[in-house]
Amino acid sequence: MVKEQLPTLEELRADFKRFPAPVVEEFDKARAVMPKTMEEGNILLWGQAGLKIADQTVRSWEAAAQYFKVSPKVVAYMPFN
């Protein structure tokens, strides 16, 4: 089984620029307050999931922005150790 290569943070942010500004803004705000225990790989997977949400339909970017906005609260309840 071949593992899919994760994008870099810079590549994710470049991809987010295809959508209205709130997507990358909410991503950046949420990333800044994510627990320090989250590894870089998990941050990239989280960002990639938001990108997949935004890619669904014309207005899916709104759902992606909300996904990023609520993520820090959700992650606070999840064990990452």
How many domains in the chain?
Answer: 1
Domain that holds residue 37: 9-75
Q: How does the average pLDDT of the chain come out, rounded?
A: 90
Look-up: residue for tokens 């800044």?
Answer: 32
2 falls within a domain: no
Token pair belonging to 25:
């803004």
What residue type is assigned to position 11 of the chain? E
pLDDT tens track for 17-53:
999 999 999 999 999 998 887 889 999 999 999 999 9
32 falls within a domain: yes
Range 5-16 average pLDDT: 92
80 falls within a domain: no
Q: Give the span between the Cα atoms of 55 and 47, in whole angstroms.
A: 12
41 falls within a domain: yes
Q: How far is CA 2 from the centre of its chain?
A: 23
Q: Are 66 and 29 in contact (CB under 8 A)?
A: no
Percent of the chain with pLDDT over 70: 93
pTM of the predicted model as reported, rounded to 2 decimal places: 0.86
Return the closest-CA partner of residue 30 out of 62, 61, 76, 81. Answer: 76
